[in-house]
Structure 1
């Protein structure tokens, strides 16, 4: 009797699920009535046999359909539509992103981020290693903003990205043949070279941001090995770059990490999914490459042993 009182609400709830469950619940309700009639000896035996057969068939079909659909992840065996559909009255509760977050797979997205950077914005961008914060080297206020966004100590210099080595050659820096050869073997890639600073940087396109990148005497330059980043730099000129994370915290390896951690402080994030690496680039001091060789200041995605191996090959003229 208790189940007979409980099953009508169950029947009503099943009408919002699927047709198989609704039929199963309905037949179960009829069976309960049959059992009640059986107790008072007013149940025709053929009716009981028919209802039990229908109930068993629906159970077998529903169990088979549920198992198959669950295993293969799609509706191989139809369960039927619900009798009633619940209309969603609430608006989507997902909050919009705190900044402009276009997909990197669209050319229009790249142009939009490039326009923001050229106007003085700071944006999160993918690189060939981890995600980075980028600002135009022509916009010193944007470079200064990076320090505030990250809470980065002022004594920590910011490096620059260029799109290719020919861009550097066009600026005619006074590099030795050894340094040129070394750069040709590490660019593009996850190795950043610290070199002596000079007025040639302005010919490179650094512009008004000259005093806000690198230190007074040196600067780190990297050529990323990623098409998206290179195309972006071709649209903006050299970019001031630093990792897209609050100072002292782990690197951001997905655009969602950049958005959640720093999105409310940025004008845009170019979304490219998972980063290519889980650690940042390897930093090599090349300021004394002709006198004392190179120094590994930070071992990142490229092992220090591989960097030294490249240098030795170049130094010995093996390349």
Structure 2
């Protein structure tokens, strides 16, 4: 039997209208954000949210991020204290997710929060997700649009290759700009590093924990199908080497050693490495300062087996 593929439609008003109609009918749609492509559904519709989990093969104890058009909409769903308001005012719209107490009258399906009394929310900056929020008039749950624990998608083609017939429609607006999932903050700590750095936020990273309190905390996550070796300064004969700076390879995250460029290219490079002939992947060391902390967080989870 020939594998089926989803429809990929280029971003325009008609494409947004088609995607919004699918969402309102209880369906799921892949849509770009500034971080990665997300798999969106109406966060108030339990059956629609269940379709996200089923399409991804995602464990139900792993909560989802809910996307909203603005702070006012977010305040109708979550309880903001003064610190959360300050963060939202400074960084929204943008790649920051806040984990906050859920309002009892939020209307959000309990499957979204995995039964927790908190909710992960953000206001995205990307025009496609904002257009879809406006067209549906619904809060949208949207984890990354890939099979659970696989490499996150930064292009429409990545979504199609990972989810195939499990997603009916992909809204294509080119490669994402940040290339890493959003920074997640809860209880005045960084629960997941991301494009907005600890230095920018002035917050500490949360200590390691077995308890899942926010998306993206599974030990194994963002993983290629092949074994991944970190901090490689040279290539073994059976490896595809992803370079950085002075360390060249089959591919490179940034010839200039720019960590922001490396973040934007990370998942795209891992997808290419996974598709290359060598059975193993190696990746050069990435400095841990700034956004390098988020890159190394993703790489550690990708290499964890």
Query: Same fold by TM-score, threshold 0.5 exceeded?
Result: yes
- Name the residue aligned to 2:63: 157
Cα distance in 2 for partners of 1:132, 1:143 equals 13
Contact map agreement 1:197 1:217 (CA 8 A) in 2:
yes
- Name the residue aligned to 1:218: 118
Unaligned residue ranges in structure 1 (runs of 5+): 1-94, 287-293, 310-319
Instruction: Give, in angstroms, the shift of residue 153 of structure 1.
Output: 1.2
Instruction: Give, in angstroms, the shift of residue 216 of structure 1.
Output: 2.2
- Name the residue aligned to 1:98: 5
Unaligned residue ranges in structure 2 (runs of 5+): 204-305
Cα distance in 1 for partners of 2:15, 2:3 equals 17
Structure 2 residue 21 is the aligned partner of structure 1 residue 115:
yes
Which residue among 191, 194, 204 is the counterpart of 1:300? Answer: 194
Query: Aligned ranges for residues 251-262 of structure 1 at < 5 Å?
Result: 251-262=152-163
Which has the larger Rg? 1
More strand by share: 2
Instruction: Give, in angstroms, the shift of residue 139 of structure 1.
Output: 2.1
TM-score by length of 1: 0.59
Contact map agreement 2:155 2:175 (CA 8 A) in 1:
yes
Instruction: Give, in angstroms, the shift of residue 197 of structure 1.
Output: 1.1
C-alpha RMSD over aligned residues: 2.1
Which residue among 227, 235, 239 is the counterpart of 2:135? Answer: 235
Cα distance in 2 for partners of 1:131, 1:252 equals 6
- Name the residue aligned to 1:176: 81
Name the CA shift for 1:274/1:174 in 2 (closer, same or farther; >3 Å).
Answer: closer
- Name the residue aligned to 1:12: none
- Name the residue aligned to 1:71: none
Cα distance in 2 for partners of 1:273, 1:280 equals 16
Instruction: Give, in angstroms, the shift of residue 250 of structure 1.
Output: 1.3
Contact map agreement 2:156 2:175 (CA 8 A) in 1:
yes
- Name the residue aligned to 1:59: none
Instruction: Give, in angstroms, the shift of residue 97 of structure 1.
Output: 7.0
Contact map agreement 2:16 2:132 (CA 8 A) in 1:
yes
For the residue of structure 2 that corresponds to 1:117, the secondary structure is: helix
Name the CA shift for 1:303/1:172 in 2 (closer, same or farther; >3 Å).
Answer: closer
Cα distance in 1 for partners of 2:10, 2:63 equals 30
Cα distance in 2 for partners of 1:146, 1:129 equals 18
Name the CA shift for 1:197/1:174 in 2 (closer, same or farther; >3 Å).
Answer: closer
Cα distance in 1 for partners of 2:63, 2:148 equals 13
For the residue of structure 1 that corresponds to 2:149, the secondary structure is: coil
Contact map agreement 1:116 1:267 (CA 8 A) in 2:
no
TM-score by length of 2: 0.62
Q: Deviations over 1:37-66 (max 9, x none)?
A: xxxxxxxxxxxxxxxxxxxxxxxxxxxxxx
Contact map agreement 1:173 1:200 (CA 8 A) in 2:
no
